[in-house]
Amino acid sequence: MFNKKEVTSIIQQALTEDIGPGDWTTLWLIPPGQKNRAAVVVGQSGIIAGLEIAGMFFEDHQFKTLVKDGSEVTKGQAVAEIFAPTRVILTKERTILNFMQRMSGIATLTRKFVEAVEGTGVVILDTRKTAPGLRILDKWAVRLGGGQNHRFGLFDMILVKDNHIKAAGSITKVVEKLKKPARGWSRPRADGPWAQALGRKNSKNLDIEIEVENLEQLKEALKLKVKRILLDNMSISQIRKAVRINGGQASLEVSGGVKLENVREIAKTGVDFISVGTITHSAPALDIGIEITNA
């Protein structure tokens, strides 16, 4: 899923935002020819992510990773070494850490959810609740934490939610329209780099998932032979009933109200997937710093 061109664009935009016309503090204090060694050090235990991104800031200089992205790290551990012009290190430091801290925080929280459901066979998924413009990095971090990606955007999967159903009239009408698009319309294509990364070449390969809010909607969807169903904001008892009603007919995903405290209980109901918005929209940043070591 690493799209270097897109990530390079994200990095450049972030540097432009931070540096503007110039890092006057560094330019004033540090002579052009000075070089330093520095270490990337974690300030708390967790899962490291974003080292490959950090390396892209130093492609013309020396950047050595000491661990791999996705590795478990402990407080005080050095995860990378840098040897570069001091001006480059100081000017890019904050931007590098912003990426790494966010990605590592997401990876760390994701790993906690993955470990919480270990042995149940349930897959932890992310959602589209990502930072605008940083989705590729947020979802990359989820993978490094051991989770899997749900759809990347509105273009690579058909996910029918409550407002689609209300606008269309019913789940039955939704399925009918998906089977036979209205005149003048065609099923959306899934072309481009995302489709290539996902192994999908055209609209025929798009997955279809229907969101249901209660057991009656579930029964309606099953009668229509829907193969993937999202149980939205259901209680544990409702989820158990849904699993019994489903009887293995469709893949079941749970979304809404999922926390570390209840995710294992949800997983043990027998569902297939659990999507967790928290891992990308509310993951606390991991404490990471860059420390100048010597000249």
Q: Answer yes or no: 129 catalytic.
A: yes
Active-site position among 138, 232, 253, 272? 232
Active-site position among 161, 201, 223, 227? 161
Q: Answer yes or no: 35 catalytic.
A: no
Active-site position among 18, 52, 81, 94? 94
Taking the C-alpha atoms of residue 196 and residue 159, their distance in angstroms, rounded to an integer, is: 20
Active-site position among 211, 220, 253, 272? 211
Active-site position among 35, 128, 129, 268? 129
**Cα–chain center distance at 19:** 27
Q: Answer yes or no: 232 catalytic.
A: yes
Q: Answer yes or no: 94 catalytic.
A: yes
Q: Which residues are catalytic?
A: 94, 129, 161, 211, 232
